[in-house]
Homo-oligomer: A and B are copies of this chain.
Amino acid sequence: EIVALCAEQFASHALTGRHVVISAGPTREAVDPVRYLSNHSSGKMGFALAEACAEAGARVTLIAGPVNLATPDRVQRIDVVSARDMQAACELAVTDAVAAVGAEQSVFIATAAVADYRPAQVAEQKIKKGDKDDEITLTLVKNPDIVAGIAARAERPLVMGFAAETHAVEAYAQDKLARKKLDLIACNDVSRADIGFQSDDNAMTVFWPMGDGVGRADLAKASKAQIARQLVQLLADRLSSAGA
């Protein structure tokens, strides 16, 4: 009952009038019709964030890679497969959001584990294993950087990135925050078995630019739903501080 009451309280208005676009899950990059490259990502953190943003009053568009999760209530979901499909869907959704409510009221949250690289060529037929081909090489080319592209727009939403790393987590995250000109970055150490990919729990550190330095919030291990609500609060704080 207390939880329900808290949820009710929380469901207040932190993001009322905002339009939030969230990318979630992995992408799959075809090698041929049967093989693909992908990343570990359950999509749970992105879906929890979509739910928390809707609870907080935002209109939410969720761009999802291949995951096995139910769509949260009051969330518009668009399913995609590859990084380039995800980019097209995110670009369009952000453009629509900015057109509908203005850049200052728009938010883009990039939780998806987008494949950095894709095979340079996609074979139209299944590649056959030759008896003599004990070793083959696959040439990979860089995929578009979705979050950096949206953060570089003239009329840009507030942009929050994610960094899942296995070492030097905080240093990479702060570098990514500055390099991609993000407003916030949430990072976690996916080499920890108790949080991360398939887990229902998470623990994150969040950074944002503050004067010449960075602001910081440490979110202790909790359910992904609880972490999502804390991230929504940090987002709402950044939106207020931007004067929007």
Residues of A whose CB lies within 8 Å of any CB of B are 31, 33-40, 68, 113, 115-117, 120, 125-126, 128-129, 133-142, 164-167, 172, 190-191
Chain B residues within 8 Å of A125, by CB: 166-167
Number of chain copies forming the complex? 2
A139 touches which one: B38, B129, B135, B166 (CB < 8 A)? B135
- A138 near B135 (CB under 8 angstroms)? no
Task: For the complex formed, measure the closest distance between the CB of A161 and the CB atoms of chain B, giving whole angstroms.
Answer: 14
Q: Which of A34, A136, A137 neighbours the largest number of chain B CB atoms within 10 Å of its CB?
A: A34
- Assuming the contacts A125-B166, A141-B135, asked whether A35 and B39 have C-beta atoms less than 8 A apart, the reply is yes
| 9 A-B pairs with the lowest CB-CB distances in the bound complex, closest first | A138-B138, A116-B129, A126-B166, A68-B68, A137-B137, A33-B166, A125-B166, A136-B140, A125-B167
Residues of B with C-beta under 8 A to A113: 34
**Given A34-B190, A36-B37, A36-B38: A142 in contact with B129 (beta carbons within 8 A):** yes
Chain B residue numbers with a CB within 8 Å of A142 are: 129, 133-135
A33 to B166: give the CA distance in the assembly, Å: 8
Q: Is the CB of B165 within 8 A of A136?
A: no
